[in-house]
Amino acid sequence: MPIAYLRSLSGKERQPAANHQLGYSLCFIAGAVNAGGFLAVGQYTSHMSGMVSSMADQLVLGQLGLALAALLAVLAFLSGAALTAIQVNWARQRQLHSEFALSLMLEAGLLLLFGLLGTALARFFDWLMPLTTLLLCFIMGLQNAIVTKLSHAEIRTTHLTGMLTDIGIELGKLLYVNRQPGFEPVRVNRRKLSLLLGLVGSFFAGGLAGALGFKWLGYATTLALALWLAVLAVVPLWDDLRALWQARRTAR
C-alpha cells in the first residue's frame, strides 16, 4: 500500500472515505476476533448486551461467580474504550499524527498477547480462560472506541445491532410507496445504506475467516490480524518518531 494511503487511513487528518475504508478493515478484524475467540473461550466478546443480560440471569439464579465474571467482562470492555479516549486526547494535546494509530498499534500488541496466552490455554485452562476472555473484551472496547472517535460515532465495528436496525429503516424507506397527495416521497439515504451493508458484510467475512483460521491454524491466526493492524498504524507513528528525532537533532 502507498505510504500516503496508509497515512490517510489512520492519521489525524480525517476524510469520510478513509473512515469508511478503515471501518471495513476493523469490522473484518472484529468479526475474526469474535468468531475465533468463541472457538477459544466459548464466548462472544464483542458485544456487551449479552454480557449484561448474562449478569442479570446469573444473579437471579444465584450464580454469583458467573455474575461476577460477566461484570468483569463489561468492565474490561469499558476500560478498553476509556484507554482509547485517554490515548487520543493525550496525543491530540501534543499534536501527534498518531492520535488514532497509537490505539491501533496497542490492539496489534494485545492480539499477539492473546495468541501467546492461547498457546498455554490447553494446559492452564481453569485460570487462563477467564484472563483470555477479559483480554478479548478489552481489545473489543479499545477498537470500538477508536473508530467511534475518528468517525464522530458514524461507524461502529464490534457489534451489529444498531447497524442492522439502521439497514432495516433504510430498506423500509426504499420499500414504502407514498400515495398521499401533498406529501413528499420518503428519501432513502443510499450512501448510508451502502456503508452499513459494507460494514456488516466485512464483519461476516471476518467471522468466516476467523473461524476457519482458528479451526485450521489455531492461535497463529492472530499473527495475521496483528500484522494487519500494525500496517494500518505504522505510518503515523513513524511520522511522529521522525519529527521527534528531527526536533532533538535541531536542539543539539
Give the per-residue pLDDT at 179: 66
Task: Cell numbers for 247, please give them.
Answer: 526536533
Give the per-residue pLDDT at 121: 66
Give the per-residue pLDDT at 57: 94
Give the per-residue pLDDT at 114: 87
Return the residue matching grid coordinates 472506541. Answer: 145
Q: What is the 3-state secondary structure (H, E, C) of the chain?
A: CCHHHHHHHHCCCCCHHHHHHHHHHHHHHHHHHHHHHHHHHCCCCCCCHHHHHHHHHHHHCCCHHHHHHHHHHHHHHHHHHHHHHHHHHHHHHCCCCCCCHHHHHHHHHHHHHHHHHHHHHCCCHHHHHHHHHHHHHHHHHHHHHHHHHHCCCCCCCCCCHHHHHHHHHHHHHHHCCCCCCCCCCCCCCHHHHHHHHHHHHHHHHHHHHHHHHHHHCHHHHHHHHHHHHHHHHHHHHHHHHHHHHHHHHHHC
For residues 27 and 22, what is the distance between their CA atoms, to the nearest angstrom? 9
Give the per-residue pLDDT at 104: 96
Give the per-residue pLDDT at 125: 61
pTM greater than the 0.85 cutoff: yes
Give the per-residue pLDDT at 132: 85
Q: Give me the tens of pLDDT residue by residue for the chain, a chain 252 residues long.
A: 588 898 999 998 889 999 999 999 999 999 999 998 888 778 888 888 888 998 999 999 999 998 999 999 999 999 999 999 999 999 999 999 999 999 999 999 999 988 887 777 666 666 677 888 899 999 999 999 998 998 888 888 888 888 999 999 999 988 887 767 766 777 889 999 999 999 999 999 999 999 999 889 888 899 999 999 999 999 999 999 998 898 887 876
Within 8 A by CB and 6+ apart from 33, the residues are 45, 46, 111, 136, 139, 140, 206, 210, 225
